[in-house]
Structure 1
């Protein structure tokens, strides 16, 4: 099993989770983060760190977010989605987007 970043991360990209990850499994895209399932060790330390409550254990993904399991796999391997190992500022309007749903249509690849 692995952990998965859900739709709530889109347009926020808080990186609090990156600081606590012991294996550097996060990948950064233009407006969200994903978790590389090949790197994640299922430690769960990232879950309470996310201000957007966007990270779930794979087996705990809400039904309406199940597509993000495969999306994390795909984007973690996508060209341009590089490893992020240090905290950065969130997107400028992250707090405005934190509780907005749905926002899958706003995902930038």
Structure 2
């Protein structure tokens, strides 16, 4: 089992989860974080740290969020690791709690943003 970040993180991107992760399993995109399933040690420490309640154990993932298992695995291979917390996105308050944000997912790694 691994933990999975869902669309509740899109356009919010709080990073308290990054600071608590003992395996450095988080990867960062322009408007979303994912967990690398190959690095996750299944400790669950990240779950209570997420103010958006965007992280779930794979076995407890809601049916409508099952696609995020593949999204996390795929993007974790492309995106750089994030090792230190950062401020959330500037307009996170306007996106907090909004449902169905998958269409807003940007598949751009952070390193490409500054290029």
Measured against the shorter chain, the TM-score band is over 0.9
Structure 2: 5+ residue stretches without partners: 108-115
> Taking structure 2 as the reference length, what is the TM-score of the superposition?
0.92
Structure 1 runs (4+) greater than 6 angstroms displaced: none
Question: Which residue pairs with 2:59 in the alignment?
Answer: 59
Q: Post-superposition shift, 1:96?
A: 1.3
Question: Which residue pairs with 1:28 in the alignment?
Answer: 28
**Count of aligned positions:** 107
RMSD value, Cα:
0.5
Structure 1: 5+ residue stretches without partners: none
Question: Which residue pairs with 1:38 in the alignment?
Answer: 38
Q: Post-superposition shift, 1:107?
A: 0.4
> Taking structure 1 as the reference length, what is the TM-score of the superposition?
0.97
Question: Which residue pairs with 2:15 in the alignment?
Answer: 15
